[in-house]
């Protein structure tokens, strides 16, 4: 894959080469869906980009999105990028005070409001003078509607380009410690990280053109943004399905029948508990030991979850219990663990087919450098590294070593073969008299 192309370059190429190929599938209720081809996605994005440009929005401006995952989140991000602006995505579950903080701190000039469960409470956090545009599945509001806006504008023509050093997005952390921090990523960083992710996916899936995935983890988090949105924008060979609601999640998953699926440990555990609710674990384990039944039982179990077409699955954002990883592999699901963070655009470490030891988060992606400090802290230098923290030069100075490695705050153990283990965070561990961090005794 060419390494000088930015994400928008790939998008324009797919628009030209496969305009009628279905890219996004959005459920709209009642078991109904709307399919959007590459041509339709780009047509709407270009029309909205023209509207943003007509409002004088472009380079140096931040535009926010507050929405659950949807086809129009993808379209809005493309529309924001085309005239030169920067995306600020807000978690759809944030409280009003956090919504206000992010909008004011980022100096957002406009807000896209999408599908939300708590908009009645969140609306109080939106400054009254901030312009708003509502996605088609947004709560009823008096704001300009997406469909009305795009109908008023001709598509922005040509191939609007961005510079590698242009700011693509500010990814606000979830704010588990104090106020959220704005992690700035430019187009060079997210494009090079996405190139690496796509290359690894091609090693796993080959060059198949019929891949499918389900987008449901928050797009405000870089894990979903990198592996689902940006990776599919670059690769162009995946149909992205969206989930309608928590109540319909299993049906949404079964509709998508994904070939690739990423989740987090909490949900992998919930899936397992759902299986055990239908079949006691001892009975399932016994059936899986019978050679003539093992494949049938395993496939039926995965089919019940909608995961029977998955070629490879991933887990991230927190450590995956080794016994849970082993359980899924007994079912024949190739579940791989990864390790990354907002600051490297999810491009750091992942398991591979030949390096996937339970308890380890994998090996470094190509181009990623890793070392362990004398005190045990993991230091990372990634092609996807952040530009810096928005309005926080003090954090920039604290977060990097003199030679440009990011201080992760995690304790790590690195094997000679490159496999990395993360026992915990520095602040969660105690320090010995020799300066080493160790986990507290149970």
Q: What value does the mean pLDDT of the chain take?
A: 91
Domains of the chain: 7-229 (3.40.50.980), 260-308+310-425 (3.40.50.12780)
Q: How far apart are the first and last CA of the chain?
A: 48
Render 194-252 in DSSP notation, one character per residue. Answer: HHHHHHHHHHHHTT-S-EEEEE-S-TTSHHHIIIIIIHHHHH--EEEEE---STTHHHH
Q: Token match 């409002």: residue?
A: 55
CA–CA separation, 117 vs 94, rounded Å?
Answer: 11
Name the pLDDT band for 197 (thresholds 50, 70, 90). Answer: very high
DSSP state, residue 346: T
Cβ-Cβ contacts under 8 Å for 157 (sequence gap 6 or more):
46
**pLDDT tens digit sequence for 56-108:** 999 999 999 999 999 999 999 999 999 999 999 999 999 999 999 999 999 99
pLDDT of 176 reads 56
Q: Which of 1-5, 85-89, 307-311 has the highest mean pLDDT?
A: 85-89
pTM to 2 decimal places: 0.92
Cβ-Cβ contacts under 8 Å for 399 (sequence gap 6 or more):
343, 389, 406, 407
Cβ-Cβ contacts under 8 Å for 211 (sequence gap 6 or more):
205, 235, 237, 238, 239, 259, 260
Name the pLDDT band for 192 (thresholds 50, 70, 90). Answer: very high
Side-chain-side CA neighbours of residue 388 (13 Å): 11
Which tops the pLDDT comparison, 354 or 20? 20
Which tops the pLDDT comparison, 35 or 174? 35
Which tops the pLDDT comparison, 437 or 238? 238
Identify the burial level of 156 via C-beta atoms within 10 angstroms of its C-beta, where 0-12 means exposed, 13-18 middle and 19 or more buried: buried
* Nearest in space to 223 (alpha carbons), one of 338, 357, 64, 83: 338
Dihedrals phi, psi of 339, to nearest 5 degrees:
-145, 125
Both structure tokens of 378:
């993991």
pLDDT of 175 reads 54
Name the pLDDT band for 381 (thresholds 50, 70, 90). Answer: very high
Q: Residue 314 CA to chain centroid, in angstroms?
A: 12
How much is the average pLDDT of 431-441?
45
pLDDT of 437 reads 44
Cβ-Cβ contacts under 8 Å for 336 (sequence gap 6 or more):
312, 313, 314, 315, 350, 351, 352, 356, 362
pLDDT of 288 reads 84
* Helices and strands of the chain, counted as H and E runs: 15, 23
Share of the chain above pLDDT 90, in %: 70
3-class DSSP state for residue 425? strand
**pLDDT tens digit sequence for 256-297:** 999 999 998 999 999 999 888 888 888 988 888 888 888 899
């Amino acid at each position: 894959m060419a390494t000088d192309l930015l994400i928008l370059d790939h998008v324009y190429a797919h628009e030209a080469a496969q305009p009628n190929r279905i890219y996004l599938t959005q459920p709209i209720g009642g078991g109904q869906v709307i399919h959007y081809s590459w041509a339709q996605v780009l047509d709407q994005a270009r029309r909205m980009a023209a509207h943003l440009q007509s409002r004088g929005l472009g380079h140096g401006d931040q535009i926010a999105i507050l929405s659950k995952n949807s086809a129009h989140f993808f379209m809005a991000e493309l529309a924001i990028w085309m005239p030169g602006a920067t995306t600020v995505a807000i978690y759809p579950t944030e409280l009003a005070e956090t919504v206000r903080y992010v909008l004011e701190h980022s100096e957002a000039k406009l807000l896209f409001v999408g599908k939300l469960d708590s908009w009645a409470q969140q609306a109080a956090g939106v400054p009254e003078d901030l312009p708003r545009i509502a996605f088609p599945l947004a709560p009823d509001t008096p704001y300009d509607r997406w469909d009305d806006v795009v109908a008023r504008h001709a598509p922005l023509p040509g191939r609007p380009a961005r510079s590698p050093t242009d700011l693509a997005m500010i990814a606000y952390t979830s704010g588990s410690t104090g106020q959220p921090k704005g992690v700035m990523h430019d187009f060079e960083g997210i494009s090079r990280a996405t190139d690496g992710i796509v290359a690894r996916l091609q090693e796993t899936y080959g060059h198949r053109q019929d891949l499918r995935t389900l987008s449901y983890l928050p797009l405000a988090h870089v894990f979903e943004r990198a592996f689902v949105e940006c990776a599919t924008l670059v690769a162009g060979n995946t149909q992205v399905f969206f989930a309608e609601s928590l109540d319909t999640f299993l049906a949404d998953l079964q509709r998508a029948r994904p070939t690739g699926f990423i989740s987090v440990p909490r949900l992998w555990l919930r899936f397992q508990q759902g299986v055990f609710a239908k079949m006691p674990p001892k009975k399932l384990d016994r059936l899986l030991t019978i050679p003539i039944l093992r494949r049938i039982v395993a496939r039926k179990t995965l089919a019940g979850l909608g995961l029977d077409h998955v070629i490879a699955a991933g887990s991230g954002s927190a450590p995956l219990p080794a016994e849970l990883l082993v359980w899924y592999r007994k079912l024949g699901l190739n579940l791989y663990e990864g390790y990354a963070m907002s600051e490297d655009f999810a491009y750091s470490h992942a398991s591979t087919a030949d390096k996937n030891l339970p308890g380890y988060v994998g090996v470094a992606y190509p181009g990623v450098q890793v070392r362990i400090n004398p005190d045990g802290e993991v230091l990372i230098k990634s092609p996807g590294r952040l530009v810096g923290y928005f309005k926080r030069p003090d954090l920039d100075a604290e977060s990097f070593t003199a030679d440009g490695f990011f201080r992760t705050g995690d304790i790590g153990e690195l094997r000679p073969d490159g496999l990395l283990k993360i026992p915990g965070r520095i602040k969660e561990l105690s320090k010995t008299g020799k300066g080493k961090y160790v986990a507290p005794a149970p």
